[in-house]
Amino acid sequence: MKLKVKDVNLSTGGPLVAVLHEKTARKLNIYPTDRLSIRRVKRGNRITSVVNISSMGIREDEIGLFEEILKKLNVTEGTHVEIDIAERPKSLAFIKKKLEGKELDEKEFTQIIKDVMNNEFSDVELTYFVSACYSRDFSISETVALTNAIVENGNRLHFKDKIILDKHCIGGIPGNRTSLILIPIIASLGYKMPKTSSRAITSAAGTADTFEILAPVTLSIKKIQKVVNKTNACIVWGGTGDLAGADDKLIKIRYPLSIDPTGMLIASILAKKKAAGATHVLIDIPWGKGAKAETKKQALELKRAFKKVSKLLGLKIRIILTDGSHPIGHGIGPALEASDVISVLKGDGPEDLREKAVFMATEMLKLVGEKDPLKKVLDVLESGKAYEKFREIIIAQGGLQRPIIPKAKYFFDILATRNGVVKGIDNKNIAKVARFAGAPEDKAAGVYIHVHIKTKVKKGTILFTAYSNSQQNLEIVKKQLKEGNPISY
């Protein structure tokens, strides 16, 4: 059948979608989420798209195309295309198999990931896959299979060095921007550390969101290689250059659901490490109330799983369990966290953030067999070499020599209503406050915590300050705080 192209002026951000009039769909016996094979009349490659059906804005002799298809077919409105019914991806059967609780093998995961990369799935179908991984979880062999499938179906970085270091925290702890401190420490000691980092999934800021205050984090593979070869390090968004690109498509689905299936979490982390060329990896598993691992038992189970998977992937790994019962540092939100990082590198800043970064950098050096690792870490931090290396990385990635950290237009203080001692700071609720304020989309928005656990407070003491460029967002924060203060005392 030949149909005239109608540009619907919409983009999906990935999946290929076409729209048919309901009468045309009925003639072809096509239903929503069925597949169409589409090509320009008498020439060009065919592409397969998901079908939507509507009687609004589309005539019977037309086919509405989203931007992704228009670009792939190189067609414009008014062009004619040929359509045929196409089969659904065979990998949908594998997703159904996982939903039924059955184990998938490497070939099945590879086909799923290939179809993810080729935008063969609708968002609904991808959601089913993530849900299956969440409700059924993975065996160790499945986690290895998914990791390899993600790595093999994306771009990779390649370096000649025998040792390439990397680090990852499983997340969930507000303000935990240790990566931005230990990366320049490690790089200034002569080791390569190409760091690909995530944007926020459930938090108020990811490492990439925070570093983006200082320099671009979306770079080409060629640019990343150049930056790392020049400075020994980079700090880029994990989705840049299609490094383990399928993982970023899955993260987009996990984000609104706020879920991190264990097998998918491990595969996501280790795929990014392998794609970046890492040989030695430090994994930080914070545990405690409000962290992703709420108990030590959960943390130890995760540690064992990481060890088993890493061994099968050929990665040298060191895993540390850290206190995840409360935030680290003062700032929560991209700009506020960037300020904390720079303060520490300059020799000041939050002591708990500094201590953890020093500890982690020391553990990384132990992993590669360095002698006197703590002394070496403190030498480059206290001499200012780490800060100079940080500035070098910023400039190499296209940042300014003197970056300007944005400040929010509005703020208000949350005060203690009585005397007491700080007993706890709820990770999830304090992060929620920062997100209600507008973080991470509003880079200047967030929360600045003025107290720590065991701090004595008097009535009127400032517990934390909420910042935003939207007065309306701050009103939402105030309403949220009526349900309870994230700081207990």
Omega of the bond leading into 440 within 30 degrees of 0 (cis): yes
CA distance 394 to 392: 5
Cα–Cα distance list, 415 to 204, 381, 473 (Å): 22, 35, 19
Q: What is the pTM of this model?
A: 0.86
Indicate which residue of 34, 166, 247, 260 is catalytic: 260
The amino acid at 187: A
Encoded tokens for 288: 């405690």
Backbone angles phi, psi at 52, to 5 degrees: -110, 155
To which residue do tokens 């982390």 refer? 269
Q: What is the pLDDT of residue 257?
A: 67
CA distance 300 to 169: 15
User: Is the separation of the CB atoms in 192 and 225 below 8 Å?
Assistant: no
Indicate the CATH number of 165-243+257-396 among 3.30.43.10, 3.40.50.720, 3.40.1030.10, 3.30.360.10: 3.40.1030.10
Res. 57: pLDDT tops 90 = no
225-273 pLDDT per residue, tens: 999 999 999 999 877 777 888 887 887 777 666 677 888 989 989 999 9
Closest to 121 in 3D by CA, of 5, 247, 275, 14: 14
Percent with pLDDT over 90 in the chain: 81
Res. 144: pLDDT tops 70 = yes
The amino acid at 291: A
468-478 pLDDT per residue, tens: 999 999 999 99
To which residue do tokens 């934390």 refer? 464
Assess if CATH 1.10.3720.10 describes domain 91-152: no
Closest to 195 in 3D by CA, of 268, 313, 275, 250: 275
Q: What is the pLDDT of residue 442?
A: 97
CA distance 367 to 362: 9
To which residue do tokens 């996982």 refer? 98
Q: Provide the sign of the torsion angle of the four alpha carbons 51, 11, 247, 205, taken in this order.
A: negative
Average pLDDT score over residue span 178-182: 97
Average pLDDT score over residue span 328-347: 97
| CATH number listed for the domain at residues 2-86 | 2.40.40.20
Q: What is the pLDDT of residue 256?
A: 67
Q: Sort strands 446-449 and 331-332 into parallel, antiparallel or unpaired.
A: antiparallel
Q: What is the pLDDT of residue 473?
A: 97
Q: What is the pLDDT of residue 255?
A: 67
Name 214's Cβ contacts closer than 8 Å, sequence gap at least 6: 338, 394, 399, 403, 405
96-109 pLDDT per residue, tens: 999 999 999 999 99
Average pLDDT score over residue span 31-48: 88
User: Is the separation of the CB atoms in 49 and 70 below 8 Å?
Assistant: no
Q: Mean pLDDT score of the chain, rounded to an integer?
A: 93
Determine which helix (DSSP H) or strand (DSSP E) holds 147, and give its type and residue range: helix 140-152
The amino acid at 407: K
Helices (H), 5-61: 22-28
CA distance 87 to 90: 8
Encoded tokens for 318: 């060191």
308-329 pLDDT per residue, tens: 999 999 999 999 999 999 999 9
CA distance 213 to 215: 6
Backbone angles phi, psi at 426, to 5 degrees: -75, 115
User: Is the separation of the CB atoms in 147 and 278 below 8 Å?
Assistant: no
The CB density around residue 383, as the number of other CB atoms within 10 Å, is 12
Encoded tokens for 486: 């994230």
Helices (H), 219-289: 221-231, 245-257, 262-275
CA distance 102 to 337: 43
Average pLDDT score over residue span 459-486: 96
403-447 pLDDT per residue, tens: 899 999 999 999 999 999 999 999 999 999 999 999 999 999 999
Distance of CA 63 to the CA centre of its chain: 35
What DSSP character marks residue 289?
T
What is the per-residue burial (b if ≥16 Cβ within 10 Å, else e) of 413-430?
A: ebebeeeeebeebbbebb
> Is the model more confident about 45 or about 438?
438
What DSSP character marks residue 458?
-
User: Is the separation of the CB atoms in 439 and 205 below 8 Å?
Assistant: yes
The CB density around residue 101, as the number of other CB atoms within 10 Å, is 10
Q: What is the 3-state secondary structure (H, E, C) of 101-138?
A: CCCCCHHHHHHHHHHHHCCCCCHHHHHHHHHHHHHHCC
Backbone angles phi, psi at 354, to 5 degrees: -60, -50
Q: What is the pLDDT of residue 34?
A: 92
pLDDT bin (cut points 50, 70, 90) of residue 43 is confident
CA distance 98 to 136: 7
413 is catalytic: no
Q: What is the pLDDT of residue 258?
A: 66
Res. 172: pLDDT tops 70 = yes
Cα–Cα distance list, 457 to 424, 434, 465 (Å): 13, 22, 15
272-296 pLDDT per residue, tens: 999 999 999 999 999 998 888 999 9
To which residue do tokens 């990852």 refer? 168
CATH architecture of 410-488: Alpha-Beta Complex (3.90)
CA distance 444 to 423: 28
Q: What is the pLDDT of residue 163?
A: 97
Query: How is the chain split into domains, by residue range?
Result: 2-86, 91-152, 165-243+257-396, 410-488
Res. 450: pLDDT tops 80 = yes
